[in-house]
Amino acid sequence: MAKAAPLKTETPRLEDYLEAIYSLFEEKGYASTVDISDRLQVRPPTVTSMVQKLARKGYLIHEPYRGMRLTENGETLAKSVISRHQVISEFLSMIGVGRRVAYQDTEGIEHHIQPVTFRKIERLVEFLRKNPGQLKAIRDYVDR
Identify the CATH class of 12-70: mainly alpha
pTM: 0.82
pLDDT given at position 9: 62
Q: What is the pLDDT of residues 111-133, one digit of tens each?
A: 889 999 999 999 999 999 999 99
Dihedral angle sign, alpha carbons of residues 136, 3, 55, 66: negative
Measured CA to CA, the distance from residue 79 to residue 86 in angstroms comes to 10
Structurally, what CATH architecture does the domain formed by 80-142 represent?
Answer: Orthogonal Bundle (1.10)
| Structural domain boundaries in the chain | 12-70, 80-142
Residue 61, helix vs strand vs coil = strand
Q: Nearest-5° angle of CA 7, CA 142, CA 104?
A: 45
Using the predicted structure, report yes or no on whether residue 7 has a pLDDT greater than 70: no
